[in-house]
A and B are shown apart, each in its own frame.
Chain A
Amino acid sequence: MSEALEWLRTSPLALVALTLVGYRLGCEARDRTGGHALAQPVLVAIVFIGLVLWAADIDYAAYREGTEIVAFWLGPATVALAVPLHRQVRRLRGVLLPMLVAIPVGAAASIVTAYALVKALGGDEVLAVTMAPKAATTPVSIALSEVAGGIPSLTAVFAISIGVLGAVVGPAVLDLARVRDRRARGLALGATSHGIGTSRALAEDETEGAFSGLSMGLTALATSMLLPVLLLLLQ
């Protein structure tokens, strides 16, 4: 009995199945609520799996190792973002210059406000540096955090949280701010909520998704180049 339990708690098969069940629940929740903003599959899955891990006393490191096969597909899926962009290429004309101006400015705004606000609200230097690269897509923000002297795995948590935040309230905030152009909306979502924001943008509209994916790539690049310089100026 205990042997079977032990197997369940560490087997990649069981952990991957748990992940798929959590994701499936999230999809069900989204469909049942008619696509309610809060019912993002990733959010539901994280809460569900987090509770199961806690209840079954499974170590996160063991879970992470067991589900490597799921995380692996993040890379190819990022490459796949070229497809919506390819289909939307004609709409690139006219936004090229605005995009090349807005994204570095947006990346700088994200970095500076993140760093300064952590400090202003009573956080320490390490926390501020950990927060600074959060707008870049998860793998980039992890690498940047490490180089800058932050806590990489905590940066990953911030990056994921901000992605979920963007997926949940991003479109509503853009409506309130009267940003209606699909291209501008996509660029804004991708610049602040990377892949998870992009998945919501794709669900809204293909143009929005394509520009969000593009923006995510450019923001990763801009953040990588601006972060060392801005941190030097801020510290």
Chain B
Amino acid sequence: MWLLVCQVVGEVAVRLTDAPVPGPIVGMVLLFALLQWRDPDEGAGVLRASDAMLRHLQLFFVPAGVGIVTYLAVLRADALPIVGAMAVSWLAGLLVVGWLVTLMTRRT
């Protein structure tokens, strides 16, 4: 229940303020603040429900992911720029964040 309440509050907050973040992300921040404040014990419903859902996180991406079938023709036509840009740009982002954090934590 707390998961849905936090998401609802998040969605409303985003719509009220016209913020460029999605409601669930705001909801995540809210739930984090709530958990820090109340610090429920490990048997609490919200913790058990969250663990159960996160175990199956990939399932919820399936419907959107199947959308790739509608773009197979586009993907074939522009395969080089799409695959090349996607892979290299992904690698660049990964290395920048991984290395920067490693470097900066080592120094402090």
Point out the residues of chain B lying under 8 angstroms from A137, CB to CB.
Answer: 22, 25
A40 contacts the other chain (CB 8 A)? yes
Point out the residues of chain B lying under 8 angstroms from A77, CB to CB.
Answer: 53-54, 57, 60
Tell me the smallest distance from the CB of B69 to a CB of chain A, in Å. 5
In the complex with contacts A162-B90, A191-B94, A217-B25, A154-B71 CB distance below 8 A: yes
Point out the residues of chain A lying under 8 angstroms from B85, CB to CB.
Answer: 113-114, 117-118, 121, 123, 131
A127 contacts the other chain (CB 8 A)? yes
Tell me the smallest distance from the CB of A24 to a CB of chain B, in Å. 9
A76 contacts the other chain (CB 8 A)? yes
B3 contacts the other chain (CB 8 A)? yes
Tell me the smallest distance from the CB of A203 to a CB of chain B, in Å. 9
> A165 CA to B108 CA in the complex, in Å?
32
> A126 CA to B54 CA in the complex, in Å?
35
Binary contact readout A69-85 vs B (1 if CB under 8 angstroms, 0 otherwise): 01101111111111111
Residue of B nearest to A30 (CB): B58
Pair B94/A192 contact, Cβ less than 8 Å: yes
From B27, B30, B71, B108, contact of A157 by CB (8 A): B71
> A198 CA to B47 CA in the complex, in Å?
18
> A72 CA to B61 CA in the complex, in Å?
10
Point out the residues of chain B lying under 8 angstroms from A166, CB to CB.
Answer: 90, 94
Tell me the smallest distance from the CB of A83 to a CB of chain B, in Å. 4
Residue of B nearest to A52 (CB): B66
A10 contacts the other chain (CB 8 A)? no
> A162 CA to B23 CA in the complex, in Å?
22
Count chain A residues whose beta carbon lies closer than 8 angstroms to a beta carbon of B: 110
Contacts A23-B56, A79-B28, A113-B85 aside, 20 further interface pairs with beta carbons under 8 A come to A41-B59, A64-B64, A77-B53, A79-B3, A82-B50, A83-B50, A102-B97, A106-B96, A127-B81, A157-B75, A166-B94, A173-B91, A181-B102, A188-B101, A192-B90, A196-B57, A217-B21, A217-B28, A217-B29, A220-B21
Q: Which residues of B contact A (CB under 8 A)?
A: 3-4, 6-7, 10, 20-25, 27-32, 35-36, 46-47, 49-51, 53-54, 56-71, 74-75, 78, 80-82, 84-105, 108
Q: Which residues of A contact B (CB under 8 A)?
A: 19-20, 22-23, 26, 40-42, 45-46, 49-50, 53-54, 60, 63-64, 67-68, 70-71, 73-86, 89, 94-95, 97-99, 101-103, 105-107, 109-110, 113-114, 117-123, 127, 131, 134-135, 137-140, 143-144, 153-154, 156-158, 160-167, 170, 173-174, 177, 179-181, 183-185, 187-189, 191-193, 195-196, 198-199, 202, 209, 213, 215, 217, 220-221, 224-225
Q: Across the A-B interface, give the 10 residue pairs with the lowest CB-CB distance, nearest first.
A: A123-B81, A98-B104, A224-B20, A80-B50, A117-B85, A188-B98, A78-B24, A82-B31, A102-B100, A121-B81
Q: Show 21 A/B contacts (Cβ-Cβ < 8 Å), sorted by A.
A: A42-B62, A68-B63, A71-B60, A75-B24, A76-B53, A79-B30, A82-B29, A82-B30, A101-B104, A102-B97, A113-B93, A120-B81, A122-B81, A131-B85, A131-B89, A135-B89, A138-B64, A139-B24, A173-B91, A181-B102, A192-B93
